[in-house]
Amino acid sequence: MAKIEALIDEAGAFAEKGKILEAITCFKKARSKLVHTDPVKVAAAIEDEHRKLNQESADFEQRAKMLSSKAKAIRKAVVVSDSLGLPRGAPGSKTEASKLEMTASGLILEAILKTGSASVQPLCRRYGTTAFMLEALHSRADCKNADVLIHIGLNDCVVRMFMEDQRLALSTLAAEVRQKIVKFAQDYRGPLVESDLEHTYTPLPVYERRLEEAANLARSKGARSVTFVTIIQPPTKFGAKTPHMSWSFNRFNMVLYDVAKRERCHLIDMDRLCWEQGTQITLSPDGMHLSAAGHALMAEKFITLVKV
């Protein structure tokens, strides 16, 4: 930990002198050492977070199962998403989707239940990436005769200050050291992003390959249809400290467009729809997640595409 603190102090000293490149170099060296400070504690932090996130996903899936028809479903949908697919906001909130029934999964279930016995299987996980998407489709998704909706990619494409293990490793440090590292990342976010636009969870070629695999996997498991949803760009105010934010999002969305066309999948351009309808209406106050209106908009477009 002493080495990390020395490096982040050195980064701060360089930055104060206007030597930003040298400062960033020191910061990156400190960041690379985070997961090695106490491997046992880091592994425990990762395991604990995964357990909590997996439990949240399982609870959401179980709630949808309880609301689905008890009889064999005539119409089925599988929804694969990250935190954008999960409930958000305080219970009873009118502007955010605060319970399953207000999310796209719940609204899709409500619509297809009108046609007879129906079920929706939401496979949604906070911090989920396309790696989660493939694992969920492979091991848990009941795709046979189902319409599959895939809305994922935000976590894949965002330029990161820290990778997942580094972010969790921060929690194992002394508070003073952790605060120094986080403050530097906040203060110099712009130059850090500029220095490494590929510091994302998922390289673009890997993202493309995973989307292709997802379409083929869902179909191999008997999916009736596959629909991809574009990544929603946050409001422009978020771009102030994140250089080239639109470029980063757009290049991933263009790959998604190409894969959807090549693999003959449906596509919902949720990014365009949210901006057309107004992000202040379709997104929650955090500017990242869907509001109740945003969930309703996505469910409406999906229901139309799959001809419920």
Residue 73: per-residue pLDDT? 84
Residue 75: per-residue pLDDT? 95
Distance CA 207, CA 185 (A): 26
User: For residue 228, what are the β-bridge partners?
Assistant: 150, 267
Q: Is residue 30 part of a domain?
A: no
pLDDT 10s digits, 65-105: 999 998 888 899 999 999 999 998 766 676 788 999 999 99
pTM of the model: 0.94
Distance CA 162, CA 170 (A): 9
pLDDT 10s digits, 143-185: 999 999 999 999 999 999 999 999 999 999 999 999 999 999 9
Residue 237: per-residue pLDDT? 77
Q: Is residue 23 part of a domain?
A: no
226 closest CA partner among 217, 215, 237: 215
Token pair, residue 208, equals 């493309």
Q: Is residue 279 part of a domain?
A: yes
Residue 298: per-residue pLDDT? 97
Range of the domain at 299: 68-158+202-305
Query: Structurally, how many domains does the chain consist of?
Result: 1
Residue 239: per-residue pLDDT? 74
Q: Is residue 171 part of a domain?
A: no
Q: Is residue 90 part of a domain?
A: yes
DSSP per residue over 68-104, as a string? S-SSPPSEEEEEEESGGGS--SSTT-SSB--SGGGSH
pLDDT 10s digits, 15-24: 999 999 999 9
Q: Which helix (H) or strand (E) holds 255?
A: helix 245-262
SS3 assignment, position 229: strand
Q: Is residue 280 part of a domain?
A: yes
Give the model's confidence band at 129: pLDDT under 50 very low, under 70 low, under 90 confident, else very high.
Answer: very high
Give the model's confidence band at 307: pLDDT under 50 very low, under 70 low, under 90 confident, else very high.
Answer: confident
Distance CA 61, CA 106 (A): 11
CB atoms within 10 A of CB 32: 13
- Give mean pLDDT, residues 43-48: 96
Token pair, residue 42, equals 């880091």
228 in Cβ contact with 212 (< 8 Å): no
Q: Is residue 248 part of a domain?
A: yes
Mean pLDDT across the chain, nearest whole number?
A: 94
Distance CA 47, CA 168 (A): 10
What angle, 0 to 180 degrees and rounded to 10, lies between the N-to-C axes of helices 2-16 and 175-187? 30
Looking up residue 235, the CATH number of its domain turns out to be 3.40.50.1110
DSSP state of 224: S
Spell 237-274 as b/e; 16+ CB within 10 A means b: eeeeebbebeebbbebbebbeebbeebebbbbbbbebb
Residue 94: per-residue pLDDT? 66
What is the dihedral angle through the alpha carbons of 216, 217, 219, 225, rounded to the nearest 10 degrees?
-90
* Whether pLDDT at 308 is above 70: no
Q: Is residue 252 part of a domain?
A: yes
What is the total residue count of the chain?
308
- Give mean pLDDT, residues 245-274: 96
- Report strand pairing: 118-124 vs 75-81: parallel
Q: Which helix (H) or strand (E) holds 123?
A: strand 118-124
pLDDT 10s digits, 179-221: 999 999 999 999 999 999 999 999 999 999 999 999 999 999 9
Furthest CA-CA distance within the chain: 70
